[in-house]
Amino acid sequence: MSSIEEFIAGLPKAELHVHLEGSVEPETLLELARRHRSPLADGGGERVRELYATRDFGAFLQAFRAVCELLQTPEDYEFITYKALSRLAQQNVRYAEVTLAAGVVLWKGENLLNSFSGMEAGARRAQEDFGIRVKWIFDTVRQFGLESAEGVLREAVRLQDRGVVGLGIGGDEQRGAPELFRAVFDDARKQGLRLTAHAGETAGPVSVWGALDALGAERISHGFTAARDPRLVAHLAARQIPVDICLTSNVRTGCLPELATHPVRRYFNQGLLLSLNTDDPALFETYLNREYRLAHEVFGFSREELTRLAEASFRAAFLTPEEKESYLAAFRSPEGS
Ligand SMILES: [Zn+2]
């Protein structure tokens, strides 16, 4: 029998919750810092390594911000997109929904269309080289408020026919109640965008209810605090509302004291539709196959259960039923590919 590492590596996967900026590896950031003559390039990479040693939410946001500041030209976006997708392809990720903090791009006063053209070029090159496909989710930032969210929606709609599939919301869950963004998300739905929300990460179950009721979120990112509300867990299970699980992320941001306290096993046993994800793989020093291994080692997921999680990653995607079917067919072929 193959080792568990080989087994996991062989599983075709989708990654649905991965931030482009959080996928920038330290050496990639160092290259950008050199390109833009940033002081971060001093000390031969030491300052970059220090920046990436995130152990709480504040340090994580600081690192995320530093990456965003160094993304300035379409070439930068092309470079980081190709690198990120190459790494995903190494995990046997066939399809990814990659999130761009579009609210931050606009806040920086960048021409989002130019940045997106760079991302597109990187994605095209990665698809040619590795066969990986990508769609994009544009994230609004809660604490940036309503006007910023409206700007993000405008850009997402403008780029819908170029692979932007969804609107999401991230940032500080404590600042910016979902109700504030109801009209923007309503509008996005009418325009044909799919909806997702970071919720139940740094705030309690009420934030998840808000994401579902006020925003109409079709998918929940993190959602681990929902475990405190049995009615909410039952609701997520009954409606088969997918939850993106990000095990390492939840510990590295300090949101969970210990990995073993994560409700992933309980959620799975209660029938929730779960996918495993890295969130910000470079910042959290993880990669997707490692997340599957953690599910196996820490939560006792069997090979059969890991296969169900990999299948669920395609089922939970913002793909058409036909597209999902074409990916899921890989699980029925004898080679599993
Ligand atoms: Zn995230």
- Domains of the chain as residue ranges with CATH: 4-331 (3.20.20.140)
What CA–CA distance (Å, rounded) separates 123 from 74? Answer: 13
pLDDT at position 52 is: 87
What CA–CA distance (Å, rounded) separates 171 from 40? Answer: 24
Q: Which residues line ion ligand 1, judged by CB < 5 Å?
A: 279
- CA 318-160-317 angle, to 5 degrees, is 5
What CA–CA distance (Å, rounded) separates 219 from 240? Answer: 9
How many angstroms is it from 197 CA to the middle of ligand 1?
9
- Torsion sign (Cα): 47, 256, 275, 213: negative
Instruction: Assign 335 a pLDDT band (cuts: 50, 70, 90).
Output: low
What CA–CA distance (Å, rounded) separates 246 from 276? Answer: 6
75 an active-site residue? no
Does pLDDT of 54 surpass 80?
no
pTM above threshold 0.85: yes
How many angstroms is it from 18 CA to the middle of ligand 1?
6
What CA–CA distance (Å, rounded) separates 275 from 260? Answer: 18
73-106 pLDDT per residue, tens: 999 999 999 999 999 999 999 999 999 999 999 9
160-202 pLDDT per residue, tens: 999 999 999 998 888 888 999 999 999 999 999 999 999 999 8
Phi, psi of 15 (to 5 degrees): -115, 125
What CA–CA distance (Å, rounded) separates 262 from 251? Answer: 9
Q: How far is CA 43 from CA 46, 66, 241, in A?
A: 5, 16, 47
How many angstroms is it from 249 CA to the middle of ligand 1?
8
What CA–CA distance (Å, rounded) separates 89 from 126? Answer: 9
How many angstroms is it from 198 CA to the middle of ligand 1?
6
Give the lowest-confidence range in 124-133, 182-191, 230-239, 250-259.
Answer: 250-259
Does pLDDT of 4 surpass 90?
yes
How many angstroms is it from 16 CA to the middle of ligand 1?
10
Active-site annotation holder among 201, 218, 291, 311: 201
